[in-house]
Amino acid sequence: MTEKVTLHINGVRYEAEVEPRRTLADAIRDDCGLTGTHLGCEHGVCGACTVLLDGRPVRSCLMFAVQAEDAEIRTVEGLADGDRLHPLQEAFWRHHGLQCGFCTPGFLMLAAGVLEADPEIGDAALRDALSSNLCRCTGYQNILKAVRAAAAEMRAWPSADR
């Protein structure tokens, strides 16, 4: 038994035939071919599959594709503006905020959602928000450094002027 579902991802419309039990993560990866969203645990702990759903970070492994029918979804593939990296991507690169890179898309989308919701977020709240996701390589040192740097950059250059 399958159902038609329409997903809007990074401004592109995708139509897929999915079983009701198909997770949003699987639909993004396998039906829409956007493999930048990774699966690390499939039970909502690691956050590697984090995407933005109507601007809010969500675990795409904990939602069904059919639940995302009318939402605007953003994934790591939509973060850069063409060849111009998003300030978060630039900062992760410059500050060595990634090693194996598997958790990176989830952290980027988590941080993008957090900073867009609250550009002035304080350090304790930022650390608390980023504790949603797991990284096994970096010990989080440079992820925090990168997100702080990107936050400053985004405050100094709001998106229209970047």
Partner 1 sequence: MSWIGRPIPRLEDPALLTGQGRFVADTAQGAAAVRFVRSPVARGRILGIDVPNDLPAGVRVITAADLADVRPIRPLLHRPDYVAIGQPALAATCVRHVGEPVAAVVAPGAAQAEDVAELVFVEIEPEEAVADLDLALAAGAPQVHAEAPGNLLIDGRLATEGFDAAVAAAAHLVEIEVCSRRQSAMPLEARAAHASFERATGRVTLTCSVQMPHMLRTAIADHLGMRESDLRVVAPDVGGAFGQKMSLFPEYLVLVWLARRLRGAVAWIEDRRENLTASAHGRDQRHRVRGAFAADGRLLALEGDLRCNVGAYSSYPVTCGVEPLMALAELPGPYDVRHYRARARGVATNTCMMAPYRGVSRPVITLAMERLMDCAADRLGLDPVELRRRNLVRAFPYRSATGLLFDEGSYLDCLERAAATVDLPAFRARQAAARAAGRFLGVGFCVFSERTGYGTPAFAARGMEIAPGYERVEIAMDPSGNLEARIGASPHGQGLATTLAQLIADELGVEPAQIRIAHGDTDRTPYGWGTFASRSLVIAGGACKLAAAALRDRLARLAGHLLEADPGDVEFADGRARVRGTDLSIELATLARQAYHQSHRFGDAHDPYLAAHATYDPAGTFSNATHAAIVEVDPETGHVAIERFLVVEDAGVLINPMIADGQVHGGVAQGIAHALFEEIVYDDEGNILTASLADYLPPTCAEIPPIEVQHLVTESDATLTRAKGLGEGGAIGAPAAVLNAIADALKPFGVGVFEMPATPQRLRALIRTAQAGEVP
Which stretches of the chain bind partner 1, using CB under 8 A?
19, 21-22, 29-30, 33-43, 45-46, 48, 75-77, 79-80, 85, 89, 92-94, 96, 98-105, 108, 127-128, 130-144
Sheet with strand 56-59: strands edge to edge: 12-18, 3-9, 72-74, 50-53, 56-59
CB of 136 to partner 1, least distance (A): 5
Pick between residue 68 and residue 87 the one whose CB is nearest to partner 1: 87
Pick between residue 57 and residue 92 the one whose CB is nearest to partner 1: 92
User: How far is residue 154's CA from residue 132's CA, in Å, rounded to a whole number?
Assistant: 22
CB of 54 to partner 1, least distance (A): 20
CB of 146 to partner 1, least distance (A): 10
DSSP secondary structure, 61-95, as one string: GGSBGGGGTT-EEE-GGGTSBTTBPPHHHHHHHHT
147 with 126: CB under 8 angstroms? Answer: yes
Pick between residue 16 and residue 45 the one whose CB is nearest to partner 1: 45
CB of 55 to partner 1, least distance (A): 19
User: How far is residue 3's CA from residue 6's CA, in Å, rounded to a whole number?
Assistant: 10
